[in-house]
Each structure stands twice: as C-alpha cells, then as structure tokens.
Amino acid sequence: MTFTRFIDRAARILTAVLPVIVAVLLTVLRIPNELEMIAEDELYQQAGVIPDNIKIIAIDETTLDRLGPYSGWDRSCFAELIEALNADSAAKPLVIGLDVIFSGTDNSAADERLVAAARDAGNVVLASKLDTDTHAARSDDGGYALKTFIGGEVTAFDELSAVCESGFTNIIIDSDGFVRRAYTSVENGGRVYKSFAGIIAEKAAGVDVLSGLPTTVELRYTGNPGEFETVPMSMVLDGTVPAGYFRDSVVLVGAYEEGMLDSYKVPIDRQTEMYGVECHANAVTAFLEHRFIESVPLWAEIIAAAVVAAAFGLIMRKCRLRTCVLAMAGIVVGYPAAALALFGLTGVRASVIFIPLGVVLEFLVFVLARYVELQKNRADEMQKMLFSMADCMAEAIEGRTPYNANHTKNVAERSVRMLDYINQMHRERRTDLHFSKKDRNQLYLAAMLHDVGKMDIPLEVMDKPTKLGHHEEPLRARLEIIRQRLLNDALTGALPKEKADEQLAQIQGFLDKLGLYNCGRKLEAEEWAVIDRMSATVYRSADGEEIPFLTPQENDDLHIRAGTLSDDERRIMQSHVVYTDKILSHMHFGADYRDVRAMAANHHELLNGKGYPNGIGADKLDTMTRILTIMDIYDSLIADDRPYKKAKSVKAAFEILDEEAAAGKVDKALLDIAKEIWLTGDKTDKTDKKGDNA
C-alpha cells in the first residue's frame, strides 16, 4: 500500500469513527452543558397541579407596611401566628414550617411566648443553616477527592430548638445560577441532618418519605412563581383570613418581598425569580408526590449516542445529501420528542442536546469531507484533463513528422525520473535539493509542452533530413538534363568529345558522392572543392542557353557547415520556443502550474546567456528549467530516429554535455546527477533505447 493510499484510507476511517467519538464525548463530558440545561428545562419542567393543602403565609409588602421593617419585629409576631393557626385544635394545620432562623435570644417575653406557642402547637418545624466547606480529603482508596464538610449548624436558640424539629434550608445553585436540585439529608460525623422541606413532608405524610433517596434529588417543579396559594401574614394576624382556611394543610411561612433578598432563578420559569419559601413548597410537593427527575444511566446514553451516530454515519455514506439532511432533521427533532415520550412514561430524563448535536457535527464533518473529496476529485480531473491535453498536443506535434516522434515523451519521462532521483538523494542527505509533488507535476507538464510551438514551424524546415531537402530532386533532374545534352552535343559535334566527357565525369562523380555532401556532417576541404567547382560550372548550349550545374540556393544549402539547416532555417526552427510561449499564454494553468509556461518557453536558454530566444542567464533559470534543458539536449543526442545525424552513445552524449557545462551553458551539478543515473547507474532505462554501447 502506497503512503498516499494509506493516508486516504486512514482519512476515510477517521471520517467514519470521529463523529461517533465526538457524539460519545459530548454525552460523557456534557458539552455544552448550559445549553443542555436550557433544553432540559424547557422539555421536562412543566407545571403540575398545585396541591390545595400546601399554602404560603407571606411576609410580603402588605405585612411589612403594617408591622414595620422586618428588622424591628419581635418574635411575638410569630408566636401570635402560631397561636392563631392552632387556636382550634380540630382545624389546625398539619405542619407549620417557619422559613426563618431564630438564632440568639435575649430571654425576652416575646421569645418565651414563641417557645410556649411552638411547644403547645407540636406541629412547628424550624429552619436552620448548615455551615459547609468543600476541600480535598483522603478517600478510602488512598487518593484525594473533593468532599463537602459541615462545619456547624446555625439553628434557633436552644429553648426553641428543644421544643421543635429543625431542618436545614441550604439551597443548591447550579453553575448557571438556577436551582434545580434539593437536599434530602446530609450525613456528617455519624449525624444525619435532614432538610427543611424533607422534615415538613415527613410530618405531613406521617411516614419517612426520605428513606432510600440520595443526598440530593432533582426537582420536578409543580408551580411557577406566584402559583401556590399565598396569604399575607398580616391578614392572618388580623383575622381577615380565618385560621380554618389552613385546616389540615402544610403551611410555609417565609419572605415574599424582593427587598428581603430571598429569591432564586428556577428552571420552570427562566424569566421570573422564585422566592425561597416557594422553592420549599415545590420541594415539599416533590417529596410528597415523588415528583423527581431521574436520569438515564450514563452508559445507556453512551450506547445510544454511539448507535445513533453510527447509524447516521451509514446513512451519510450510502445516501444522497437530501436524504442525509432529512435524516439529520428527523434525529434533531425526533430525538427530543422520543426523550419527552420516555419522560412522560417513566419520569426518566434523557439528555436532549448532546446526541442531536453530535449528529449535526457528524453531518458537518461528512459534508466537509465530501466537499474536500469533491474538490480533490475536481482537482484530479482538472489535472488529468490538463495532462491529457498536453498528451494530445504532444501527439499532434510528433504526428506531423516521422522524425523525433518519441522525443517529447522521452524528455518528460527522463526529467521526472531525474527529479525523483534528486529527492531520493535528499532523503539520503546527499543534497539539499528537493522537490514537491507539485514541482514534479509542473516539470512533467512543461516537458510535455516544451515543443508545442513546433506546430507553427513549416514541415519543410522541421522535417528537413538533408542540406538540400526538397531541392535535391530538382538538382538531380537538372543534372540529368545536362548529362543528356552533353551526350547529344558530343554526337552532333557541337562540343568536343573530350570536353563533354570531362563534364560528364564531373557530374557523375558529384552524383556518386551527393549523399555524403548532403548529410548533416562537417565536410572535408577536398569535398568543399568539389562543390565549389560544381557551383562554378555552367552548361552552355550551341544556341547560347546557360544551365548552371548548381543554383545559388543549392550552393548555399550544400555549404551548410553542420546539420541540415541554413541560418535562416535555423532561425525559423528556433522560433518554435517563441510560438510555444505564445500558445501557452492562452492557457490558464492556475496557481499549481504557474511556472509551466516559463519552463517550456525557456528550455533553450543557457546559463551563460547565449541561448535563445531571449538570451536570459542563470539568474532567471530555475532548477527545473535547467533539468529540462539537459534532458532535451541529452535526448536529441542519443535519439536514433533522426535522418540527418547518427545517434550518439550515452557516453558520447555526456561527453558533449560535459563540454557544454565547461562552457557555462548547462548546470554542471545537475549534469553530474544525470550522469550518475544514466552513465554509471541503471542502464536498462526503457527511454534509453541505445544504451551505453550505441
């Protein structure tokens, strides 16, 4: 398996597994918890039927107006209230819960009256306050954990406490500032402290309602703020509300005015605060009616999160996007609906946000993955299209001529092989040079397009196999005509036989060696002399007609020093790089292939500035262009499909390239790497058809 395939497969696995992991982690870590709290409050906290036997006697604004500021009250007010409520033993309340802490005493008559009233009533429950502290303590396993310790209890003065039960009124406030839970009881140092609401509920029910309950319970609120029956304390004291109104009821007495600073935010109505005495009324109702919210076990929610996320992941992989969106919407809406149905049937609460949020995140992950895959596929398709277009153009170029038909592909293959070899050297720490995949693609594309300008070069120049090219046949035809006329002149006596024979021998000798004169090799001095003599010879007929043995054009062609192209033809041939640049200027390569045009257009430029078409030097020729230049020259030297020259051996080709490097034309360091590959390394390269011994 290639590294790319391994990464692709790993990405697919991660895409499939990650959403399940995220969904599970969201459920375990309960993130975002405050958002979940809001959702659960809206879903599960629905008001119930307010019990008609739980009533509140409010220390409200009306009462304060009549009795004066609370700080100035003596305790006879509460004694009078207890006495009034219990005046008729047949119509007295079941329980009177005083949400007031009567700490300290001055042994006044008012205090004594309160103690006597509470003792005689026998149904009064007092409020207390636990002094708690949380810090690290050693656990049973030898480690440390945060534990809550009770430093003490603030209770009513001793005489009053002796005649009444007391329960602590500590409120549990969640991290978002809302009161959702209530204490049942707390054990500390072998002593069990019961909550204020718990004791009231037990006295009202006549049984131990707290047995079996955990230390804290989550309340399912019955009433919204202001919904419990509330009577101002002043109206009870003045008899406006008769004591019989509270017969067999649970009566809670407490602050019911904003200035007394005893109000809290509650989940059943997130906009309106609830007085502490109302919170206790809801807690008493919950204890009596077992209105608690129990949670689905964490392990069950983890399993549900994993199953839902995995199922949705399967839908995402198998179905179209529209189906996936509908499935996601179904889960986002349906899961809370199912959770609400479960709660209605069992009273057990499941989280509302975490699993749907995990599904939404899963959807986003898959959409992002699909988008990335789509963009990758599009990029791959664009690259394939670009490369196939380059292949087509190379095929079109090479299809114009039977010569150098494999040149483009050979140069491309050798260029990228050299680049790969340099990267291998870099991994072996033998060079600082290294190239990216983008560099490799650019070099390959530039090599495939480097000769695209040859489509604008006339075939008679590009395909010219000899110095004379298409002029050879007219030359031979003309010399044949001259030969026939010389024979005729000799027979008619118009020309002495010796003279005719001399010219006939000159023509025949020239034709016998024309193939040697006409090829691309460099001629010897005696061969130049034969051509010069032919150029100077003219056939003259009896009537004065003159026919030159060689025309000026033919003479110029045969006087080409090397190769088969004249200076003008060579300039035309060299212009193919100008046409390459012009053609490629109309192509949009994008950021990943922005250097292709320059590399293709500059592959005949040399480091010493004596290349063409622009004569730019080393400072403007990047490494990949230098590689392309070397490979272009190398392939031209060893190619065996050129009619105007013999193929060089690999060794001879590199000897010529060494001379070019010594002259400052090509990069010597890169040439040495090329020699390491093809001269001293693997000689079985399929592109090197000649081998070292060619």
Structural domain contains residue 44: no
DSSP track, 52-103: TTEEEEEE-HHHHHHH--GGG--THHHHHHHHHHTSSTTS--SEEEE-S---
74-87, pLDDT tens digit by residue? 899 999 999 999 99
CB 184 within 8 A of CB 195: yes
Strand-strand pairing, 124-138 and 95-98: parallel
Residue 557 CB contacts under 8 Å (≥ 6 apart), including other chains = 467, 468, 469, 471, 566
DSSP track, 552-581: HHHHHHHT-SSSS--HHHHHHHHTHHHHHH
Q: Radius of gyration (Cα) for the chain, nearest Å?
A: 53
Q: What is the CATH number of the domain that holds 673?
A: 1.10.3210.10
- Amino acid in the structure at residue 155: T
Comparing CA positions, the residue from 132, 128, 184 lying closest to residue 158 is 128
Give me 181's structure tokens: 């839970």
Q: What is the mean pLDDT of the chain?
A: 86
pLDDT value of residue 100: 93
**335 and 285 fall within a common domain:** no
Structural domain contains residue 48: no
Q: How confident is the model at residue 454 (pLDDT cuts 50, 70, 90)?
A: confident
Structural domain contains residue 276: yes
**619 and 669 fall within a common domain:** yes
Structural domain contains residue 559: yes
Please tell me the distance from the alpha carbon of residue 562 to that of residue 648, in angstroms, as a whole number.
16
Structural domain contains residue 6: yes
Please tell me the distance from the alpha carbon of residue 248 to that of residue 245, in angstroms, as a whole number.
9
pLDDT value of residue 24: 65
Structural domain contains residue 685: no
**178 and 256 fall within a common domain:** yes
pLDDT at 18 over 70: no
Does 543 or 657 have the greater pLDDT score? 657
Does 149 or 693 have the greater pLDDT score? 149
44-85, pLDDT tens digit by residue? 998 999 999 999 999 999 999 999 998 878 899 999 999 999
Comparing CA positions, the residue from 634, 663, 637, 237 lying closest to residue 413 is 634
pLDDT value of residue 140: 56
Residue holding tokens 């991660």? 14
628-668, pLDDT tens digit by residue? 999 999 998 998 766 666 788 999 999 999 999 999 999 99
**560 and 595 fall within a common domain:** no
Strand-strand pairing, 54-59 and 229-232: parallel
CB 99 within 8 A of CB 250: no
Residue 505's alpha-carbon distances to 257, 289, 489, 492, in angstroms, are 139, 136, 15, 19
Please tell me the distance from the alpha carbon of residue 109 to that of residue 533, in angstroms, as a whole number.
156
Give one word for 77, left, alpha or beta, with left for phi > 0 and alpha for psi -120 to 50.
Answer: alpha
376-434, pLDDT tens digit by residue? 888 888 888 888 888 888 788 777 776 666 888 899 999 999 999 999 999 999 999 99
260-301, pLDDT tens digit by residue? 889 999 999 999 999 999 999 999 999 999 999 998 888 888
Residue 585's alpha-carbon distances to 135, 453, 616, in angstroms, are 75, 12, 19
CB 672 within 8 A of CB 661: no
Final residue belonging to a domain, choices 517, 549, 564: 564
Please tell me the distance from the alpha carbon of residue 280 to that of residue 286, in angstroms, as a whole number.
10
CB 550 within 8 A of CB 472: no
Please tell me the distance from the alpha carbon of residue 333 to that of residue 353, in angstroms, as a whole number.
10
181-194, pLDDT tens digit by residue? 999 999 887 888 99
Please tell me the distance from the alpha carbon of residue 332 to that of residue 661, in angstroms, as a whole number.
71
Burial 388-424 (b: 16+ CB within 10 A, else e): eebeebbeebbeeeebbbbbbbbbbbbbbbbbebbbe
**88 and 215 fall within a common domain:** yes
Please tell me the distance from the alpha carbon of residue 175 to that of residue 462, in angstroms, as a whole number.
84
Strand-strand pairing, 144-154 and 124-138: antiparallel
**411 and 382 fall within a common domain:** no
**61 and 210 fall within a common domain:** yes
- Reported residue count of the chain is 694
Mean pLDDT, rounded, for 220-233: 95
**Which class for 312: exposed (0-12), middle (13-18), buried (19 or more C-beta within 10 A)?**
buried
Q: How confident is the model at residue 693 (pLDDT cuts 50, 70, 90)?
A: very low
pLDDT value of residue 31: 59
Residue holding tokens 């000689």? 683
pLDDT at 253 over 90: yes
Residue 390 CB contacts under 8 Å (≥ 6 apart), including other chains = 445, 448, 449
**209 and 61 fall within a common domain:** yes
Q: What angle do CA 167, 168, 171 make, to 5 degrees?
A: 140
Final residue belonging to a domain, choices 338, 366, 394: 394
How remote is the C-alpha of 267 from its chain's centroid? Answer: 39
Structural domain contains residue 414: yes
Query: The dihedral of CA 184, 187, 190, 196: what is its sign?
Result: negative
**333 and 477 fall within a common domain:** no
Residue 82 CB contacts under 8 Å (≥ 6 apart), including other chains = 96, 114, 117, 118, 121, 124
DSSP annotation of 344: H
Domain count, the chain: 4
CB 340 within 8 A of CB 41: no
**159 and 276 fall within a common domain:** yes
Please tell me the distance from the alpha carbon of residue 383 to that of residue 377, in angstroms, as a whole number.
10
pLDDT value of residue 592: 86
Does 94 or 517 have the greater pLDDT score? 94
With residues binned 3-state (H G I as helix, E B as strand, rest as coil), the percentages for the chain, rounded to 5, are: 55, 15, 30
Residue 349's alpha-carbon distances to 297, 324, 332, 357, in angstroms, are 9, 28, 17, 17
Residue 380's alpha-carbon distances to 202, 383, 416, 441, 588, in angstroms, are 75, 5, 19, 12, 16
pLDDT value of residue 198: 95
Structural domain contains residue 167: yes
The whole domain housing 487 covers: 469-564
Final residue belonging to a domain, choices 341, 373, 394: 394
Residue 196 CB contacts under 8 Å (≥ 6 apart), including other chains = 97, 99, 125, 127, 128, 166, 167, 168, 169, 280
**79 and 211 fall within a common domain:** yes
Mean pLDDT, rounded, for 222-239: 95
pLDDT at 440 over 60: yes
Mean pLDDT, rounded, for 206-231: 93
**577 and 641 fall within a common domain:** yes
Residue 11 CB contacts under 8 Å (≥ 6 apart), including other chains = 369
Residue holding tokens 């592909």? 409
Residue 139 CB contacts under 8 Å (≥ 6 apart), including other chains = 145
